[in-house]
Amino acid sequence: MSGGAEAVLLGAAQCAFVLAAAPLLQGIIRKLKARLQSRSGPPVLQSYYDLAKLFSRSETVASTASIIQFAAPWVVLAAMLGAALFVPMFAAVTPLTSDGDLLVVIGLFALGRAALTLGGVDSGSSFGQMGSSRELAVGALVEPALLLSLAALAIATGTTRLGEMVAVGAHDGAGFVDLQWGLALLGLAIVTLAETGRIPVDNPDTHLELTMVHEAMLLEYSGRSLGVLHLASMVKQLLLACLLANLFFPFGLQGHPDLASYVVGAALLAGKTAVIGAAMALVESTVAKMRFFELPDLIGSASLAGLVAVAITVWQL
Amino acid sequence: MEQLTAAALILLLAASAVELSGLARGLRAGYWLSTGAAAVALAACVWLLADGTTVGLDLWSPAPSLDLTWRMTALGAFFGAVVALVALFASLFAVRYSQPRRLDDALYPLFVLSMLGVAGAGNVFTFFVMWESMALTSFLLVLSDGQGHQRRVAALLYLGMTHVATVFAVAAMLMLADTAGSQDFGAMGLAPAGPGARTSLALMLAVVGFGTKAGLVPVHIWLPRAHPVAPSHVSALMSAAMVTTGIYGITRVGFDFLGPGEEWWGIALMAVGGTTAVLGILYALMERDMKRCLAYSTVENMGIVTLAVGAALSFRSVGQDELAAAALVAGLLHTLNHAVLKSLLFLGAGAVQHAAHSLDMDRLGGLIRPMPVTAGTMLVGAMGLASAPPLNGFVGEWMLTRSLISLAGTGSGVATRLAAGGALALLALTAGLALACFVRLFGMTFLGVPRGEARPIREAPALMRLALGGLAVAALAAAAGAAGLVRLLQAVPQELMPGTGAHVEQAHRITLDGGGSFSPVVVAILLLVLAPLPWLVLRLTLGATRRNRGPVWATGVSFVPSMQYTATSFSKPLRLFFRRVLVPEREIKVEYHGTSPLPRRVQYSGRVPAVIEERLYLPLRSLAIWSAQRIRAFQNGSVEFYLLYVFGALVVLLVVAR
């Protein structure tokens, strides 16, 4: 990015985009899932209605809760919006190219997880604490898988700035597609399932105590706080979809964009994320949820895929 | 500068003398003087770093070629600054916290003095005088706080291991002094030993010797036993400052005395560091005692720093001094950040113990309400060590991770590049586990409601809060001013590898290798804007919402505190995920009423054994006892025989070392 004004505009556009589009992606996934299971399902716009309702409802907070539970939703949302400024969306650039890279995005996801789990622990509810305990255990396994999948691309492109990584990929075209590309894609895809709380890792539709992870942490929340946490997790889902779409399928994105290429990029992004959402719905409908204690096998294989991708990449340099 | 250094020395000696004499008992003058001395020493060290100069001070020469020489270089000044910074706040905390005890109070300033002496030693002799003094004073400080079998075992284990380690360290230093033809550190640095079998041996000896002090696996076993049993201000000094002297030793030998070396040196250090980091944080997650958990986390962080030093050695062995400088600065920055955060957490644990009379995370809970200041400062410490951006713990890890990606991608050998990839995996796993560990530490102690019996609890006294607040502010400042710190720390690689590291950073931004940059300030501002903004927008558009208070939901029955998770159950998923590494043991005893299928009593017990101790050290101990039995044959009580042995040893020495 060159101009300061352009950076501010793009940053505002990216934040507005993730806030506005995240519930839509959630709605599309839910609708497709329902159709795949021969249900009619809620309307595509249902998530917006839910959020609007939650935002204006009063809250009931446990008498044992402290300021942590009050602050946590806003910190989680801030971490996700902060990460949105370092993820390339409509072109192979980010608003704040020099102030953060993929490691900062991973770090902000960790900050979000820290706030979310502390909020889950706060009231003393055993459900919240169970959810936090599980979320952190899964998160510890996800961390290497996420870093290694992205590091394989970073090593290949010689940069950790996500915008430049996308630009190199877009420039190389299909020559970019090789074995390590596939392994890294597999790794990040599994990470996306785990990080968005989807089957086979977690079940977003359950309130059964034995299987809950993400929903358990949210049990003590209500009203506006609950809405903010829902919105934050949808934003995270969209961010991961953007990373998958733009890093692994970077076609059509410009390194030095003008207004027209931003519009083209936005249309492409909408298409790519919708396809990824459809893939997630398909996985959720065809795969059974794993036992919690078998998760290391799944996420470990994502780490292994990432590690092999890194190994092949450095071998070929 | 010499005057400032001398002033710090004299103040510390005076502090010791005052406490030993027993004058001004109630005033805690020794700790006040130590606080002042630490402030002076900190100023002197930072000045030296900023100035990039070296000061020397010849103290005393008891015999020819045995000189006590003080010579503060940039590398030493950095570690001196770390010690002084920790000592400043630990001493302040101790004014109110420590129980008056004449011997301890007199030893404490000497402990600080000897750590500063290790960082400032100008030759091999001075270094080991200070090193021994540091080991003995800290041993006595661990031992003399109260009684108890466990404490004595821990202290004696520490004493034994530190002395075995010193043998290795002395051997390494003497080999290198022999190669350089001088015992003076300056001369040894001017004649780097270079690659070769002999220097490789020296490096290995140094890593074992100094690595024991730093708590590297598998020679870490004393650390999680000895650090927690000392009073909290001493724990803070040991776990935040004393461990760094081990890193100082490894860096001094690896960079200054050896020079560019063999490719496998860096790989070996990265392997040791990465393994140490993962195992350290895994065991930290299994502990229910706050201070033991923190001590294991020290093992983890020293592993991370060792990993950084290894990466720097790898870069240097292929002549990429710019990147070597960046990786070394990453390690130093993490050393500093860890020192600030770990002393904050150890002192905070002291405040918790002072208020709640317990460190058992399975019993604590809900302390955020009676102790808001302690909780707030410890939240900074815990999130910093969990390396959550934009806090200072994240900055060092960002630089290290970025360096490893460069190491994996640039012109080193394939083995080094693959090792860097493996190190990335270990570092990321460590970061994920550290997040779990510190959410658990903070959450189980300060959130929820008390799990044991509820007692009235009062916030820590003002002076203790002042020390905690000072450290929390230091941690936040280290995050906001990270780029400035990186610029300051450049003095160290510039001294060790002249002509490097001039443009690793710019303004508020840290840039590495041209392909990645990070501005902690910008990220912090973003978060400070983005958190309240949605709150404000929703409040202005949809209005404020009512917040009702109600009981915790517990599936319809009324909530009791024992329904909560404990620290032990909180880490159960990870205990099971990593069961092949941790080998947890559990036993469930069920008693029945006669033939009734309903159990009368169920008893559960579980533990995570220290596998390395049981599988590596117990056989070693048996071997030592067995060989001692054999050697007893020579000890027949006759003076004539003993004189014969002395004569024989002399002849052998004359023949071998002629």
Check residue A209 and give its pLDDT. Answer: 67
CB A111 within 8 A of CB A236: no
Question: Is pLDDT at B610 greater than 80 in this prediction?
Answer: yes
- Long-range CB pairs of B53-59, under 8 A, 24+ apart, other chains included: B53/B1, B55/B1, B55/B2, B55/B5, B56/B122, B57/B2, B57/B5, B57/B6, B59/B126
| Cβ within 8 Å, pair A61-B548 | yes
Report strand pairing: B599-607 vs B66-72.
unpaired
C-alpha span between A112 and A78 (Å, rounded): 8
Element (H, E) at A124: none
C-alpha span between B128 and B651 (Å, rounded): 28
Average pLDDT over residues B338-354: 95
Weakest-pLDDT range from A80-89, A112-121, B139-148, B639-648: B139-148
Average pLDDT over residues B521-525: 92
Average pLDDT over residues B565-589: 91
Check residue B553 and give its pLDDT. Answer: 86
Check residue B103 and give its pLDDT. Answer: 83
Residue A154 in contact with partner chain B when CB distance is under 8 A: yes
Confidence of residue B146 (pLDDT cuts 50, 70, 90): low
Q: Write out chain A's pLDDT in tens, 317 residues.
A: 446 888 899 999 999 999 999 999 999 999 999 999 899 999 999 999 999 999 999 999 999 999 999 999 999 999 999 999 999 999 888 898 888 899 999 999 999 999 999 999 999 999 999 999 999 999 999 999 999 999 999 998 888 999 989 988 888 766 667 888 999 999 999 999 999 988 888 887 777 766 788 888 998 999 999 999 999 999 999 999 999 999 999 888 888 888 888 999 999 999 999 999 999 999 999 988 888 888 999 999 999 999 999 999 988 87
Q: Give the one of A98, A100, A310 whose C-beta lies nearest to B424's C-beta.
A: A310
| Cβ within 8 Å, pair A111-B389 | yes
Which chain B residue has its CA at the smallest distance from A317's CA? B409
Residue B427 CA: distances (Å) to CA of A115, A301, B375, B513, B566? 22, 18, 28, 20, 27
Question: Is pLDDT at B353 greater than 50 in this prediction?
Answer: yes
% residues pLDDT > 70 (chain B): 98
Confidence of residue B186 (pLDDT cuts 50, 70, 90): confident
Residue A78 in contact with partner chain B when CB distance is under 8 A: yes
| Cβ within 8 Å, pair B424-A64 | no
- Long-range CB pairs of B612-618, under 8 A, 24+ apart, other chains included: B612/B217, B612/B218, B612/B221, B613/B221, B616/B218, B617/B221
- A220: chain B residues, CB-CB within 8 Å: 552-553
Average pLDDT over residues B8-29: 79
Which chain B residue has its CA at the smallest distance from A218's CA? B553
Which chain A residue has its CA at the smallest distance from B519's CA? A99
Weakest-pLDDT range from A40-44, B99-103, B335-339, B573-577: B99-103
B 558-577 residues inside an 8 A Cβ radius of A: 559, 561, 563-565, 569-574, 576-577
Question: Is pLDDT at B131 greater than 80 in this prediction?
Answer: yes
Weakest-pLDDT range from B34-38, B135-139, B186-190, B401-405: B186-190
Q: Give the one of A77, A85, A223 whose C-beta lies nearest to B534's C-beta.
A: A77
Residue type for position A185: L
Residue A58 in contact with partner chain B when CB distance is under 8 A: yes
Which chain A residue has its CA at the smallest distance from B403's CA? A160
Average pLDDT over residues B381-387: 95
C-alpha span between A195 and A298 (Å, rounded): 13
Angle at B644 between CA B640 and CA B647, to 5 degrees: 140
| Cβ within 8 Å, pair B550-A104 | no
| Cβ within 8 Å, pair B425-A57 | no
C-alpha span between B131 and B125 (Å, rounded): 10
Residue B348 CA: distances (Å) to CA of B98, B105, B356, B382, B633? 14, 21, 12, 11, 53
Residue A63 in contact with partner chain B when CB distance is under 8 A: yes
Residue A60 in contact with partner chain B when CB distance is under 8 A: yes
Q: State which residues form the domain around A41.
A: 4-316
Residue A301 in contact with partner chain B when CB distance is under 8 A: no
Check residue A1 and give its pLDDT. Answer: 45
B 499-538 residues inside an 8 A Cβ radius of A: 509, 511, 515-519, 522-523, 526-527, 530-532, 534-535, 538
Q: Is residue A158 classed as helix, strand or coil in its secondary structure?
A: coil
| Cβ within 8 Å, pair B425-A303 | yes
Question: Is pLDDT at B181 greater than 80 in this prediction?
Answer: yes
Residue A212 in contact with partner chain B when CB distance is under 8 A: no
How many Cβ pairs closer than 8 A exist between chain A and B? 275
Which chain B residue has its CA at the smallest distance from A103's CA? B398
CA distance B218 to chain A (A): 23
pLDDT digits (tens, 9 = 90+) for B438-477: 999 999 999 999 987 777 889 999 999 999 999 999 999 9
Q: Is residue B568 classed as helix, strand or coil in its secondary structure?
A: helix
> Which residues are registered as beta bridge partners of B604?
B588
Give Cβ neighbours of residue A24 (< 8 Å, ≥ 6 apart).
A44, A45, A47, A48
Report CA B602 to chain centroid distance, whole Å: 41
Question: Is pLDDT at B243 greater than 90 in this prediction?
Answer: yes
The Cβ of residue B636 has, within 10 Å, a number of other Cβ atoms equal to 9
pLDDT digits (tens, 9 = 90+) for B196-216: 888 999 999 999 999 999 999
Give Cβ neighbours of residue A216 (< 8 Å, ≥ 6 apart).
A120, A127, A128, A130, A131, A134, A209
CA distance B444 to chain A (A): 8
C-alpha span between B518 and A102 (Å, rounded): 10
Burial class of residue B644, CB neighbours in 10 A (0-12, 13-18, 19+): exposed
In chain A, the number of structural domains is: 1
Burial class of residue B537, CB neighbours in 10 A (0-12, 13-18, 19+): exposed
Check residue B147 and give its pLDDT. Answer: 67
Q: ipTM value, please give it.
A: 0.95
C-alpha span between B301 and B336 (Å, rounded): 11
Of A62, A180, A265, nearest to B366 by C-alpha is A62
* 3-state helix/strand/coil string of B589-626: EEEECCCCCCEEEEEEEEECCCHHHHHHHHHHHHHHHH
pLDDT digits (tens, 9 = 90+) for A74-104: 999 999 999 999 999 998 888 988 888 999 9
What count of residues does chain A have? 317
Check residue B21 and give its pLDDT. Answer: 79
| Cβ within 8 Å, pair B449-A64 | yes
CA distance A195 to chain B (A): 13
Check residue B321 and give its pLDDT. Answer: 85
| Cβ within 8 Å, pair A118-B447 | yes
| Cβ within 8 Å, pair A296-B577 | yes
Average pLDDT over residues B147-161: 87
- B538: chain A residues, CB-CB within 8 Å: 55, 224
